[in-house]
Amino acid sequence: MSFLEVKDLYLYYRTRKGMLHAVDDVSFSVGKGEALALIGESGCGKSSLARCLIRLLPRNVEVFNGHIYLNGTDLMRLSDEDFRKMIRWRKISMVPQAALNSLNPVIKVGEQVAEPLLIHGAASREEALEKVRKMFSLVGIPEAFMERYPFELSGGMRQRAMIAMALIMDPEVVILDEPTSALDVLTQANIMNMLKKIKREYGVTFILITHDVSVSSELADKVAVMYGGQIVELSEADDFYKASLHPYSQKLMASIPSLREEKNLEYIPGSPVSLINPPRGCRFADRCPYRMEKCSSDPPLITINKSYVKCWLYAK
Amino acid sequence: MNLSKRAIQFLKTLFQYKSALAGSAILLILIAISIYTVIAIPYEQATYLWQAGKDIWLDNPRNALPSWVNIFLPKKLPETITLDTTRNQAGVTKIIVPIGKEMSKVITEMSFIYNYDDFPSEINLFYESNFTSSPPHLTIYWENPEGVKFKLKDLTVSNKGAYYLSSDEHLMKMLQDYMKEKFGKDPEYDITPEIGLFAKYDETILKKETASPLKGEYRVVIEGVLFEKGSDVDLKLVVYGKVCGMAGTDHLRRDLTIALLWGTPIALSFGITAALSIAIIEMIIAAVSAWLRGRTDFILQRITEISMTIPFLPTLIMIAVFYKLNIWTLLLVIIALSIFGPGVKTYRAAFLQIRSFPYIDAARSYGASNIRIIFFYMIPKILPTIIPSLVLSVPDFVFLEAALAILGLGDPIAPTWGKIIDDAFSAGALFKGYFYWIIEPSFLLILTALGFALLGLSLDKIFNPRLREV
Amino acid sequence: MENSVLLSLRNVKKWYVVRKGIFGKPTYVRAVDGVSFDLVRGEAISLVGESGCGKTTLGRTILGLEEATSGKIIFDGKEIRISDKEVLKWYRRQTGFVQQDPYGALPPFMTVKRILEEPLIIHKIDKYERIERIYRVLTEVKLTPVEDFLNKYPHMLSGGQQQRVVIARAMILNPKLIVADEPVSMLDASVRVEILSLLKELQRRHAISIIYITHDLSTTRYFTEWIYVMYAGKIIERARVERLIKNPLHPYTIALLRAIPDPDANNRFILRDIPPGEPPSLIDPPSGCRFHPRCIHKILGLCDEKEPPEVEYDKEHFVSCWLYVSK
């Protein structure tokens, strides 16, 4: 079994308009020290999937079951309290989306980054601040900034601080939810450099959630494409960026402008499928250029070498 | 979706809330009352009646309770009985018998059945006569169901006048003596004619608590002599009850329903006009202030701050004391004192936010003028959010008018709920036990406030989604 | 197509007052600090730079939404000044604005028809022509059948459709210049291409000049002919798209291009060479060349003291850097 293995995960929310199928039968595995990129557009369920892994769910959850195996242990069987004490932030941590606004504006940055340690009682105050010092040097924040308030930091600095906070308890898995989407190109490159270094030197397992396919290639060993709450393709990076399998992945790749080469851009007509009361059968069918009769029933997961794809085109 | 479809959709959402249903129902009832009142009793007529000029209300008892209380009471309170020779009534007969060339005798007989468990509040006999120089002369007799007869009075009439039995001291003494003679002892209280003429003549009459009316047919016979040929005398006997009308009467015998009915459209229009005008003007001031910024903003905000520190109610009271205000001038004064109020600050904050919205920028880029942006782009955005506070503020103004009226500073003519309470206080209603006089207008005031509050709260839930329960 | 100049900027500056200061001098944010260029009729240029470089402010100043602190803006031969109300009103008809947030750019309480009618009403276009123009412009942005969209409110449309309405509105007065500020960055990846290709088509068909402001260099190739690179309130390099991408001159441009990934599985093994530090504060910018604190090629005594002039290093390739100024 892989280091992190997710099997048959479901997450449904109850809403006024109906049942929202945020995560609809998702399975994937990630090796230790590997990075998995979870690619998808807005409303495909990728943020919900991240929240499943760290179990930060809102109140209107209707269905939440499946298996999340971390090093052999099924995390889904832990009680909420046990999960909080043993897993969250200790084993699995997260840099949330729009992290720039996740810092408490009235607490100094150094204090905040130390908080997880102090809350879990894992260190004394001096030890915690020392750890923060180490972390800041790792992520590239000058030590002096420990005494500053969040508004005194630039966007890039704040993001680095959030990453430091996610790493402070030396977790095994770090989830990055759109880590660079609000940042400039240069800052983005710097942060990706930093993450690459951390991955190499500390063997952290990353799950990178993004809608930016180009950015995903900066870190990914494996790529999973999400659409309509489901993973429609899971491939090795080497295979994916050259030639993806699922029609949605292909269309997505074809819609990305390239800086270095002349490219005929294509777009996908229509809009992403709604997660509320999704249609039967393949969820991409009504936007797919290869639609067939069969697509009105739910396609199976078909394994091809080290990848799998959820599409009738590949069925024998 | 056009306007009516949007409206229907909105109403559907609104009426999901029971509070909205209740509130709207109350307001619809009040509006219906207002419309009915304005049509059925024109304002001039209402104010004329409410002025309680000379003889308008004379046929009503003073401080009577509403008639429907009799449904709940074990002892039935009397209604007013009116017997009028000018009207064709059963129980009234009048015969004129000429005596000689000039004079005639006129005999009027009035009989009625009295079946109530309590005594009347007052008894009056009104007369009207047309003579030139020699006034007619009347002798009045009273007969109770058991046949006991009294001569009440001899009197010489004038053109128009009345014999107030209830305050006839001579009659009181006569009844007093009669009881003493009959029972050997003095009654323990001063027997008033309403009790004395109607009571059961047994031991019970000696104590006021035990005295009870004798039920049956009563007769009043008035024998008169007319000295001139062609002269006549008309008589009206009013045995005043203790209940009258739908709402009772006040100290001036006025039927309270008129003021209660008319109070409704006045309260509604006053409250709504005040709330609406103030909200709209505040909104415009805030919009101009937020959009133009710079010096205009500075001046308007300082005016607002100064205006907010001036105490509203004392200033209003001062103005009302120095100047006699009618209700519509009062409305203008209230509006003038309120427009630079806290709403300006709140709306300005909202407008400052809206100001930086992309669509405002876009409007500037295609050449929209300042006025256009303020009225067509900013105000429509904020309008939904001010509706709940607008609705919730209406009762404040309704109560304000009532409060001023109670302080005696309101419009002296307009028949409003506050005026009723003011009259009641001045007449010592609570002290005398006339609770209905205070409760009725208070109830309507509270009902109005309740209606707007319920509606306003549910509107608030719709327009401020944060308050919505998921 | 005439090759005449449509828009001319001469040393345009836009400074914002931060603190008035009772004693001593006030402090300014120098958002745009001396920008000059000529825009040819029918030409589309990209204005790229990172956040805080002043590109949005420059766009707004060109549109007349902000008043230039100094410098000249000349459009079609006329000087545009905010104080000159008549010229400004004429100028508004000549320009269109496409914004970043499609939902925010549309008044939520107006229908599509009303939104498109507003510019026409303001400029007193008569009623019959109005409805014609609305139909025409909605067809051009491919929101058809037109009747289906006229009575819809913005919240009933998807992000892509909303942005089309924004573009339609920008086009409806038949402008000669459109400033598009990050028009696709809030849209989903698959929708971006739709909108960009729409802009491309409209530009070709009507020969409109477009200033396309973006931080995403990869999209510039798609429909613009020139790239203008902005840094700390100044334009530090400008060239034809292919030239700039193949041969970037300014160290900042070089770093920028290096920092942008194309989807490639090998990216995860390489560390990009990025200049350290952050973009400078616009309140107290560095002396001389603004980029010098982060530049590995800096010439001490020159780059940190004097601002470099703009030179035409190559045909249709301009750069402001001492490295390319020959003595």
Residue B2 with chain C: CB contacts under 8 Å? 151
Report the pLDDT averaged over residues B104-110. 90
Contacts of C197 (CB under 8 A, 6+ apart): A265, A267, C222, C223
Residue C14 main-chain phi, psi, to 5 deg:
-135, 110
The pLDDT, as a whole number, for residue B27 is 93
Q: Is the pLDDT of residue A10 over 90?
A: yes
Does any CB of chain A come closer than 8 Å to the CB of residue B3? Answer: no
pLDDT at site A246: 93
Q: How far is C151 from chain B (nearest CA, A)?
A: 6
- The overall average pLDDT reported for chain B is 88
Tens of pLDDT, residues B316-367: 989 988 887 888 888 999 999 999 999 999 999 999 988 889 999 999 999 9
Name the residue among C50, C66, B355 with its Cα closest to residue C58. Answer: C66
**Which pLDDT belongs to residue A248?**
92
Q: How far is CA C218 from CA C13, C48, C213, C222, C258, in A?
A: 28, 10, 12, 8, 12
CA–CA gap between residue A169 and residue A128 (Å, rounded): 10
Residues of chain C predicted below pLDDT 50: 1
Question: For B466, how many CA atoms within 13 A lie in the half-sphere containing its CB?
Answer: 1
What is the pLDDT at residue B54? 65
Q: Nearest chain B residue to A60 by CA: give it.
A: B470
Query: What tokens were used for B254?
Result: 């006025």
Q: What local confidence, expressed as pLDDT, does residue B469 receive? A: 47
Residue A239 has pLDDT above 50, yes or no: yes
Which pLDDT score is estimated for B465? 64
Record the tokens describing residue A62, joined without a space: 């209707």
How much is the pLDDT for B470?
A: 40
Going by C-alpha positions, the residue among B283, B315, B294 that lies closest to residue B404 is: B315
Cα(first)–Cα(last) distance of chain A, in Å? 28
User: Using 50, 70 and 90 to split pLDDT, how confident is the model at B191?
Assistant: confident
B touches which chains (3+ CB pairs under 8 A)? Answer: A, C
Burial class (CB within 10 angstroms; exposed 0-12, middle 13-18, buried 19+) of C246: exposed
Vertex B22, ends B16 and B24: CA angle to 5°? 90
Strand order of the β-sheet with A61-70 is A18-30, A4-15, A61-70, A73-74
Q: CA-to-CA distance for C38 and C309, rounded, in angstroms?
A: 16
Say yes or no to pLDDT of B419 above 60: yes
Which pLDDT score, from 0 to 100, does residue C3 have?
64
Q: Minimal Cα distance from A222: which residue of C?
A: C265
Q: Considering only CA atoms, which of C110, C48, C54 is closest in space to residue C237?
A: C48
Q: Is the CB of residue B470 less than 8 Å away from at least one CB of chain A?
A: yes
pTM to 2 decimal places: 0.80
Q: For the residues of B115-135, what is the DSSP string, one character each?
A: --SS--SEEEEEEEEE-SSS-
Report chain B residues whose CB lies below 8 A from the CB of A58: none
CA separation for the pair C133, B312 (Å, rounded): 54
Is C221 close to A259, i.e. CB distance below 8 A? yes
Within 10 Å of residue B40's Cβ, how many Cβ atoms?
10
Same topology between domain B3-49+256-467 and domain B67-240: no
Phi-psi region of B92 (alpha: psi -120 to 50; beta: other; left: phi over 0): beta
**Percent above pLDDT 90 for chain B:** 36
| Count of Cβ atoms closer than 10 Å to residue C304 Cβ | 15
| Complex ipTM | 0.89
pLDDT at B297: 92
Instruction: Tell me which residue has tokens 């900066």.
Output: A218
Which H or E run includes A128?
A: helix A125-139
The answer on pLDDT for B270 being more than 50 is yes
Sign of CA dihedral B28, B34, B39, B40: positive
What length does chain C have?
Answer: 327
Task: Give DSSP secondary structure letters for A226-247.
Answer: EETTEEEEEEEHHHHTT---SH
Q: Do A283 and A227 touch, CB atoms closer than 8 A?
A: yes
Pairing of strands A18-30, A4-15: antiparallel
Cα–Cα distance, A189 to C258 (Å, whole number): 9
pLDDT recorded at residue A1: 78
Q: Could you give the percent of chain A with pLDDT greater than 70?
A: 99
Residues of C with Cβ-Cβ distance to B1 under 8 angstroms: 151, 153
Size of interface A-B (CB pairs under 8 A): 3
Tell whether A278 is within 8 A of chain C (Cβ). Answer: no
Question: What value does the mean pLDDT take over residues A120-145?
Answer: 88
**Which fold does the domain A4-91+171-314 belong to in CATH?**
Rossmann fold (3.40.50)
Q: What is the CATH number of the domain that holds C24?
A: 3.40.50.300
**Residue C66 with chain B: CB contacts under 8 Å:** none
Per residue in C23-73, pLDDT (tens digit) is 777 788 899 999 999 999 989 999 999 877 889 999 999 999 999 999 999
* Chain C residues closer than 8 Å to A188 by CB: 259
Domain-by-domain residue ranges, chain B? 3-49+256-467, 67-240
What's C280-303 look like in SS3? CCCCCCCCCCCCHHHCCCCCCCCC
pLDDT of residue C182: 92
Looking at residue C269, its amino acid is: F
Q: Can you name the residues that pair with B113 across neighbouring β-strands?
A: B217
Question: Does B362 sit within 8 Å of C97, measured CB to CB?
Answer: yes
Question: Quick check: A181 and A99 in contact, CB under 8 A?
Answer: no
- Cis status, amide bond into B61, omega within 30 of 0: no
CA end-to-end span of chain C, whole Å? 38
- Contact status, residue B229 vs residue B132, Cβ threshold 8 Å: no
CB atoms within 10 A of CB C85: 10
Residue of C172 and B468 predicted with greater confidence = C172
More confident residue, A280 or B2: A280
Q: Is A141 exposed, middle or buried (0-12, 13-18, 19+ CB in 10 A)?
A: buried
**Count of CB contacts below 8 A, B vs C?**
58
B167, pLDDT greater than 80: yes
Q: What is the pLDDT of residue A67?
A: 93
Q: What is the mean pLDDT of residues A186-192?
A: 88
Beta bridge partners of A26: A9
Number of domains in chain C: 1
pLDDT band at A59 (very low <50, low <70, confident <90, very high): confident
Write the residue in B367, B369, B376 that is nearest to C119 by C-beta.
B367
Which residues of C are less than 8 Å from A241 in CB distance? 263-265
Q: Which residue of A has its CA nearest to B469?
A: A16
C267 with A217: Cβ contact below 8 A: yes
DSSP per residue, C102-155: TTTTS-TTS-HHHHHHHHHHHTT--HHHHHHHHHHHHHHTT--SHHHHHT--GG
A129-143, A260-274, C187-201: which range is least confident on average? Answer: A260-274
Chain A 75-114, residues with CB within 8 Å of chain C CB atoms: none
The CATH number fitting domain B67-240, selected from 1.10.287, 3.10.20, 2.60.120, 2.60.40? 2.60.120
- pLDDT at position B131 is 84
The 3-state secondary structure of B192-260 reads CHHHHHHECCCHHHHCCCCCCECCEEEEEEEEEEECCCCCEEEEEEEEECCECCCCCECCCCCEHHHHH
Instruction: Average the pLDDT over B200-205 and give the result.
Output: 84
Q: What is the pLDDT of residue C51?
A: 79
List the domain boundaries for chain A.
Answer: 4-91+171-314, 98-170
Contacts of A16 in chain B (CB under 8 A): 470
Structural fold of domain B3-49+256-467:
MetI-like fold (1.10.3720)
Of C99, C109, C153, which has the smallest distance from its Cβ to B380's Cβ? C109
What whole-number distance in Å separates Cα of residue A44 and Cα of residue A22?
7
Residue A263 confidence class, pLDDT cut points 50, 70, 90: confident
User: Which range scores top for mean pLDDT: B370-374, B410-414, B421-425, C177-181?
Assistant: C177-181
Q: What is the mean pLDDT of chain A?
A: 89
The pLDDT value recorded for residue B466 is 62
